């Protein structure tokens, strides 16, 4: 059990940019047979059942953070390209695919027991108090991500920029209510 608490503490302390150490500890935990792997799948399966084990919740929160970082990184590349005079559409399309692939998963990343009372996170408690509205924001994002992906297949830059603007609005609509300022 002591190892579990050690893992939990390290993950808790691991700030955004200091996750490499946490990764190593989690890997060691996995190697020694703890159930930190597949945390997401297990957590989703359990989301309506018993509360998550703490170490499982922390692993899921870390995975959630990494997925959002991937969405954020993809969005940055797209924005940079679309601001340039002659965007590299291959880059735009590849990153649109990444976002469209992650978008439908968002609503599964917030099972009960993964909020700010459990560990370090920018997710606000309001998510769990306004489940339906949060799910609606996640679905609007998913729709915008699919529309952007579809539009980016073409070469109409004005349409691609407009769809990108809509996608960005769907991020902001959720962040304004449900993500801690940082
Ligand atoms: C349905 C709500 C929702 C939508 C839609 C959403 N996000 Fe987020 N985002 C969050 C929440 C909540 C967090 C905090 C997660 C955590 O800390 O566990 C977050 C975290 C992030 C982070 C990590 C921030 C950090 O510095 O720790 C990035 C980057 C990010 N989002 C980018 C985006 C982008 C870009 C989009 C749109 C393309 C988007 N998000 C759409 C709710 C959302």
CA 174 – ligand 1 centroid, Å: 8
* Residues of the chain above pLDDT 70, percent: 72
pLDDT value at 37 more than 50: no
Question: Total domain count for the chain?
Answer: 1
Higher pLDDT, 144 or 44: 144
Exposed, middle or buried: residue 170 (CB in 10 Å: 0-12, 13-18, 19+)? Answer: buried
The whole-angstrom separation of Cα 74 and Cα 45 is 28
Angle at alpha carbon of residue 69, lines to 65 and 75, rounded to 5°: 145
CATH code at position 140: 1.20.120.10
Query: Residue with the nearest Cα to atom 39 of ligand 1?
Result: 171
Ligand 1 and 122: CB distance under 6 A: yes
Mean pLDDT throughout 43-48?
A: 52
Ligand 1 and 16: CB distance under 6 A: yes
Query: Residue with the nearest Cα to atom 3 of ligand 1?
Result: 174
At 99 the pLDDT is: 98
pLDDT value at 36 more than 60: no
Q: What is the pTM of this model?
A: 0.78
Domain that holds residue 156: 2-178
Residue 47's pLDDT band (boundaries 50, 70, 90)?
A: low
Query: Residue with the nearest Cα to atom 33 of ligand 1?
Result: 72
Token output for 36: 């930190």
At 32 the pLDDT is: 39
At 168 the pLDDT is: 98
């Amino acid at each position: 059990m002591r190892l579990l608490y050690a893992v939990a503490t390290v993950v808790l302390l691991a700030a955004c940019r200091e996750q490499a150490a946490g990764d190593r500890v989690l890997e060691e935990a996995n190697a020694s047979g703890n159930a930190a792997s597949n945390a997401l799948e297990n957590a989703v399966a359990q989301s309506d059942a018993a509360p998550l084990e703490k170490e499982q919740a922390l692993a899921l929160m870390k995975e959630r953070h990494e997925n959002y970082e991937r969405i954020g990184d993809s969005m940055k590349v797209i924005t940079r390209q679309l601001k340039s005079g002659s965007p590299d559409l291959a880059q735009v399309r590849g990153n649109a695919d990444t976002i469209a692939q992650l978008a439908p998963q968002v609503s599964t990343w917030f099972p009960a027991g993964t909020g700010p009372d459990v560990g370090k996170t920018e997710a606000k408690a309001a998510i769990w108090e306004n489940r339906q509205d949060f799910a609606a924001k996640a679905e609007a994002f998913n729709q915008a991500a699919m529309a952007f992906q579809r539009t980016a297949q073409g070469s109409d830059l004005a349409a691609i920029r407009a769809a990108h603007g809509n996608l960005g609005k769907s991020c902001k609509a959720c962040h304004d209510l449900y993500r801690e300022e940082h």
